[in-house]
Amino acid sequence: MSKSSINASEVKKIILACEAGMGSSVMVKNSLIKKAKKAGLDVSIDHSPVNLIPQDADVVVAHAGLAGRAREVAVNSVVISFNMFMNDPAISKLITDLSEGNEIKSS
Amino acid sequence: MFVTKCDRLINLKGDWKNMRESIQRFGGAAAGMVIPNIGAFIAWGLITALFIDTGWAPNENLSEMVGPMIVYLLPILIGYTGGKMVHGHRGGVIGAVVTTAIAVGASDPQFFGAMVFGPLSAWTAKKVDAVLQPASPEGFEMLIDNFSLGILATVLAIVAKQIIGPIMQGVLDVLGGISEGIVDAGLLPLVDLPIEVAKVLFLNNAINHGLFGPLGVAEAAETGQSVWFMLESSPGPGLGMLIAYWVAGSGMWKQSAPGTIIIHFFGGIHEVYFPYILGHPIMILAMWAGGMSQALWFQITDAGLVAAASPGSILAYLPLIPRGGAVGVLGGIAIGAIVSAVVGVIVLRARPVKETDAGVEDTITVDNVPGV
């Protein structure tokens, strides 16, 4: 199972996961990159199919419908689930937590 | 007693979740074999739409490419990709050999065969490598690697050509017969009922690439078009449901609807509309109404696409409409959108989304229902 929390300062790599790793994850990734850039964050953000999430990912972001599988695969990561593909509060919270240096909790 | 009942209910829900995740996994694997090769599918689709007898620019010489591409190239790409997923490049190589053998041993395009035996033959190679590679004497690694794969591929190819090809042809004949029977009996609209539910549970790739794609290709290879390419991937009903939110929704649902429409209808990423159903499940009624009307129209007009539209965007549909098929295809999408919009507005007026200050946080999704 995945980790329950991680400190913002340790987050170097964020992975957006969707089933095929080519559709919705790429879209959410691009919006996250924009937000991270705006907040001046220095993290690498990439996308991946849910069954091939890289093991060195610190935080994995996946839709609630796929988060269960993400948690099984991403044993070294904190998994954050979201419901809406645009303007989801969980994703805004991730950016806020990262820029304020908070603890990032699995959700 | 109450507690045991609850426990049983929770267990049932757990089983359902496991089953859903298993189907998703299968679908993820199928999609993982197909989606990276969609470029080749599109090339084949365009060549077909343009150059076959009934195409836009019939050309006998150029249409010679259609058959070999659908019978060999596309299944071999799938078999290669499936093998590669299991055992890297070596797995891909043996998957390609075995898929070729199956394709030669059968007459219709062997997508199911490629999806099953590509990964399976790679798995066999992986097991053989696990024994041979540690035992290889120094300096003989290359010789043993190459010949072990070559010999194993030869053996599996013979089995695939003689036994698996004909069996897979039989499986395809049965599935083709069932799908034809469904169309002939006028049952396409009913097929839509499970599709809409499965889609929003993220089983969209499992259905489209794991089942309807292979069925559609088998049909299109014979008749030049297939309705199975459209049932899951049509962007019509989703468009209508989102329009309903835009017109009759409230709060953030209403605000986010226009942006979602653009991504869904033009970008073809249907996942963006799933939360609008998961967050307010009664809106599945709008999807059913739109999807069934659309399927009925497809059925009446004998509509179909020449190849799989992926992603399910209106822009991916346009080049794949067969000559003379625009009324069937575009009419169906329009009807799906209109009916779904009207029913969606009625549903939203009768049962508005209960909104909290926190926005979507209180909405129920498949995964935050307690005990699921």
User: pLDDT tens digits, residue range B229-256?
Assistant: 999 999 999 999 999 999 999 888 888 8
Scan for tokens 């965007």, then name that residue: B313
Cβ of residue A28 closer than 8 Å to a chain B Cβ:
no
Q: Which of A20, A23, A66 sits opposite B32 (nearest CB)?
A: A20
- Record: contact B366-A64, CB cut-off 8 A: yes
ipTM of the complex: 0.76
Architecture in CATH of A5-105: 3-Layer(aba) Sandwich (3.40)
Active-site amino acid positions of A = 18
Start-to-end C-alpha separation, chain B: 20
pTM: 0.79
User: pLDDT tens digits, residue range B269-300?
Assistant: 898 899 899 889 999 999 999 999 999 999 99
CB contacts, 8 Å: A65 with chain B: 201-202, 274, 278, 365-367
- Asked if A19 contacts B33 with a C-beta cutoff of 8 angstroms, the reply is no
User: pLDDT tens digits, residue range A4-36?
Assistant: 888 878 888 898 988 777 778 888 888 888 888
The amino acid at residue B35 is: I
List b or e across B37-75, with b for residues whose CB sees 16 or more CB atoms inside 10 angstroms.
bbeebbebbbbbbbbbeebeeeeeeebeebeebbbbbbb
User: pLDDT tens digits, residue range B137-164?
Assistant: 888 888 999 999 999 999 999 999 999 8
CB contacts, 8 Å: B256 with chain A: 84, 86-87
- Record: contact A50-B274, CB cut-off 8 A: no
Interface contacts (A, B; CB < 8 Å): 85
User: pLDDT tens digits, residue range A38-61?
Assistant: 888 888 898 888 888 888 899 999
- Record: contact A83-B279, CB cut-off 8 A: yes
Instruction: State which residue of chain A sits closest to B312, comparing Cα positions.
Output: A23
Whole-number Å distance between alpha carbons of B119 and B272: 31
Q: Where are the domains of chain B?
A: 189-372
- Record: contact B263-A27, CB cut-off 8 A: yes
The amino acid at residue B244 is: A
